[in-house]
Amino acid sequence: MEWTPGTPLAFETAENFRELGGWPAADGRRVKRGLFWRSGALCQIASEEDRKRFEALGIRVVCDLRSGVERTRQPDPEFIGIRRHDVGAIRDAEGGELPIDANNSLHLDADGLRALSREMEAIYSALPFHNPAYREIFREMLAGELPLLFHCSAGKDRTGVAAALILLALGASRETVMADFLATNDCRPGAVRECLEVYRSELEREPELRPILESVSGVRPESMQAVFDAIDRRYACMEDFFAAEYGMGPEQLRLLRDRCLE
pLDDT of residue 117: 82
Q: What is the mean pLDDT of residues 243-249?
A: 98
Mean pLDDT of the chain: 92
pLDDT tens, position by position, 106-165: 677 888 888 888 888 899 999 999 999 999 999 999 999 999 999 999 999 999 999 999
pLDDT of residue 223: 94
pLDDT of 105 higher than 80: no
Count Cα neighbours of 15 within 13 Å in the Cβ-side half-sphere: 16
Q: What is the mean pLDDT of residues 23-35?
A: 97
pLDDT of residue 111: 85
pLDDT of residue 106: 65
Instruction: Report d(CA 72, CA 101) in Å as an integer.
Output: 11
Q: Which domains does the chain have, with CATH numbers?
A: 18-260 (3.90.190.10)
* pTM recorded for the entire structure: 0.94
Give the residue with greater pLDDT, 191 vs 139.
139
pLDDT confidence of 189, banded at 50, 70, 90?
A: confident
Instruction: List, as one string, the DSSP characters of 9-61.
Output: P--SS--S-EE-TT-B-GGG-BBPTTSEEEES-GGG--SHHHHHHHHTT---E
Across 97-111, 156-170, 171-185, least confident range: 97-111
pLDDT of residue 194: 82
pLDDT of 233 higher than 80: yes
Query: Going by C-beta distance under 8 Å and a sequence separation of 6 or more, which residues neighbour residue 50?
Result: 11, 12, 13, 14
Which of 8, 2, 1 is closest to 180 using CA atoms? 8
pLDDT of 195 higher than 90: no
